[in-house]
Chains A and B, each alone.
Chain A
Amino acid sequence: MPALIEVDNLIKEYPGVRAVDGISFCVEEGACFGLLGPNGAGKTTTLEILEGITDADGGRIRYRGTARDDSYREIIGIQFQNTALQDFQTVREALHLFASLYPRHRPFGELIELCNLGELLDRDTRKLSGGQRQRLLLAIALVNDPDLVFLDEPTTGLDPQSRRNFWALIEGIRREGKTILLTTHYMEEASVLCDEIAIIDRGRIVEQGAPEDLLSQHFPRALVRIPLHVLPETGGLPSGFEARGEHAIAATDDIEAILADLHRRELALDDLHISTPTLDDLFLKLTGHGLRES
C-alpha cells in the first residue's frame, strides 16, 4: 500500500517548549492511525500541523507523495477538540453552511444517516447533548466527502455509552475506505479503532506499531495475581511469582502451567486475578508515568 501521508522529522517550538520534537510516521490509505499520549504530549499540535492549521518550524509533510497545496483543504475533514458553532442555528442550517463552503459536498441524506442525525435536524445546535454535538461535528468534518479525516480527541468528555456509539460511527467511516488520523488519551479507544498507533510523550514518538504487536513485544500474554495472605507462611512464593505490595504477581505466557502449579499446592484460588496487559500498562512502562497525568 502506498502511504497517503508521510510525516518527516516534524518540529514545532513555542516559547520555552519544544511541543513537537522530531516526529516522523506514515499513514497508509484506508488505515486508522492513532496518536496516543497524555495532555500536553504534543498530539494536538502534531495534528494541527498535519491539518494545515498550524505551521511547523521544521520537517516535511507529503500528501500522496507531493507537497500539500490549496486543494488539500478541500479533501480533508477535521473534527476539532474544542469547536463552537455560530449561535442561533439548527443542525440542518449548520450542515448547509459548511456544505456551501466547499466546491462539492456529500448528499445530505447520506451524511444524516451516517452520523445518525435524523431526529436532530431542526434542533438548535446549542441544545444538543455532548454525544449529539460530536455527531454533528463529525458530520461537518465529513460534509465535503474527504479522503483524509482528522479526529482530535473525538470522545473526550462523553459518557461510556455515547463513546461506544461514536466508535461505531467511526467504524462506519472506515468501512467507506477513508483514512483516519485520530488523537486520544483513551487506550481502549486506540485498541478498538486503530490499525497502528504512535505513543507520544513530550513531543517525541516513544513507540509505534499495531496495538497487539506492541503489547506482545513488551509484555507476556497475562498477569496472574494472588493475595499474599492465601500463601502458606513458609515455603516461599510459587515459582514465577514475585511479591509486589500485598500481592504476588506472575507475568507469563503460559497461564496453564502457573494455574497447575497453584492447584498442586492446594491454595485457595477464590481471590486469584488474571489480566491481560493493556496499552495503559504499556504507556506506563515506556514513559514511567501514567497516561492521565501530564
Chain B
Amino acid sequence: MSLKRILAVVVARNREFYRDKAGLGWNIFMPVVMVLGFAFIFSGPETDLFKVGVIGGTVDDERPAFLDTRHIRFVPQQDEAEAIEKVRYHRIDLLLDLREPKRYWVNESSPNGYVVERLLLQAHSEPPVGLKREPVSGRPVRYVDWVLPGVLALNVMFSSLWGVGWVIVRYRKNGVLRRLRATPLSAGEFLVAQIISRLLVVTGVTVLVFAGTNALLDFPMRGSYAALALVFLAGAISLISLGLAVSARVRSEELADGLLNLMSWPMMILSGVWFSLEGTNIWAQRVAELLPLTHMVDAARRIMLDGAGLAEVGFEIGILLILGLVLLTLSSRAFRWQ
C-alpha cells in the first residue's frame, strides 16, 4: 500500500465530485428540501386522526362534550343523504346529527368508525370505575424531529451506494479503470481511495445538511455529537462496502443502477425512516434487522431524541462495522479491473 498513490486517487475523485456543480447541488440541497417538505406538510398545530361529519347543532349551550375531542376534525354537513354516502365510502368516519332526535351513522366495516364511535359513547358517559388516568408527559417530539435522523441516514445511504457503486461501474465501462490498472496502482489501493474519498464527501455533506436543517427547524439534539458522528461513519462504511460489492464485477451502468435500487428500496421502506415498524409483519421486522440503514436510523434517533450516549449505541456501531468489514473483504476479493 502506497499512501502517495491512495492520496492521488482520493484527490482526483474528490475533485471530480466538487467540480460537478449539478451533482453537488443535488447532494446537498435535496436532503434539506426533503426535510423542509416534511416539516411543512406535518406542521399543523395538531394532526387530525379522524373526520366526523356534523349536521345541525349551532346553539353553543347545547354543545356536546364530544365536539371538544382533540385530533378529530369536525366537518359541518348540509345534506343528510349526501353525508350518509360519505360515511359509506369512508370519506368521513362517522356522521353526527345534532338535530332532534340526536343520532349518528357509522360504517360497520370501518375501523376508524369503530374507534370514533367508542370515543363518542365514552364522551357521554362517566369515566370507567377502578381505572385512574395517568397522563404521559415528556418533551414533545414533532414528526419532523422523529423523521429527521432517518432522512440524514437515508442521505448517507444514497451518497454511499451511488457515489461508489455507480461510479466504479462507470469507470470500468469507459476505460478509466483499465488506464489505472496499467500503472503500479493496486486494486486494494484503488478501493481504499474510493472509500476514503466517499467518507470525506459523506461527512462534509451530512454536516452541511445537519447545520442547514437545524438552522431552519431547530430540531432536538439531546445526545452526544461524537456518538452520532460514529454512527453515521460506521453506517457509511457499511453502505460504501455494499456499493463496492455491487460494483465489483458489473460492467453495465443500467445493471448497476438496478442492483443499487434493489438494495436501497427495501431499506428506504423497511428501515423505519418514515414510520415505525412496531406491530407490523414479523417477517418485515426480521428483514429490517438485516439492513444496515435500520441500525443507523435507530441509533441516530435514540441519540438525537432520547439523548443516548456512545455506550447505548455501541451495539449498532458494532453491527455496522462488522457488516462493512465482511462486505469489504468480499468485494476486494471479487473486484475486477475489467
Contact = CB atoms under 8 A, between A and B. Distances in A.
Interface of A: 51-53, 70, 73-74, 76, 78, 80, 82-89, 93, 96-98, 100-103, 140, 144
B178 interface: yes
Interface in B4-32: 4-5, 7-9, 11-13, 15-16, 19-20
A159 to B, nearest CB: 23
B227 to A, nearest CB: 35
Given A97-B12, A100-B8, 11 more contacts: A73-B183, A74-B184, A80-B182, A84-B174, A84-B179, A86-B16, A97-B8, A100-B7, A101-B180, A101-B183, A144-B183
A88 B15 contact: yes
Contact of B13 (A86, A93, A98, A140): A86
A84 B16 contact: no
Interface of B: 4-5, 7-9, 11-13, 15-16, 19-20, 171, 174-176, 178-185, 338
A53 B184 contact: no
Most chain B CB within 10 A, of A78, A97, A102, A140, is at A97
B143 to A, nearest CB: 39
B20 A102 contact: no
A172 B4 CA distance: 31
Contacts of A96: 8
B184 A101 contact: yes
B175 A102 contact: no
Contact of A89 (B15, B178, B182): B15
Contacts of A87: 16, 19-20
Contacts of A101: 5, 8-9, 180, 183-185
A53 B174 contact: no
B182 A53 contact: yes
Nearest to B170: A84
A98 B11 CA distance: 12
B185 to A, nearest CB: 5
A223 B175 CA distance: 45
B183 A88 contact: no
A51 B183 CA distance: 11
Given A89-B15, A100-B8, A101-B8, A78 B176 contact: no
Given A53-B181, A100-B8, A101-B184, A88 B176 contact: no
Nearest to A51: B182
A102 B176 contact: no
Most A Cβ at <10 Å: residue of B8, B20, B184: B184
Contact of A80 (B5, B7, B178, B184): B178
Contacts of B19: 87-88
B184 A89 contact: no
Given A53-B178, A80-B175, A101-B5, A86 B12 contact: yes
B184 A73 contact: yes
A83 B179 contact: yes
Contacts of A93: 12, 15
B184 A88 contact: no
Q: Which of A52, A73, A87, A144 has the most CB of B within 10 A?
A: A87
B5 A84 contact: no
B176 A85 contact: yes
Contact of B4 (A82, A86, A100): A100
16 contacts: A73-B182, A73-B184, A80-B175, A84-B174, A86-B12, A86-B16, A86-B171, A87-B20, A89-B16, A93-B12, A93-B15, A97-B8, A97-B12, A101-B5, A102-B183, A102-B184
A61 to B, nearest CB: 16
B184 A82 contact: no
A61 B179 CA distance: 22
B74 to A, nearest CB: 58
B197 to A, nearest CB: 11
Contacts of B11: 97
Contacts of B16: 86-89
Contacts of B15: 86, 88-89, 93
A140 B12 CA distance: 15
Contacts of B8: 96-97, 100-101
B175 A84 contact: yes
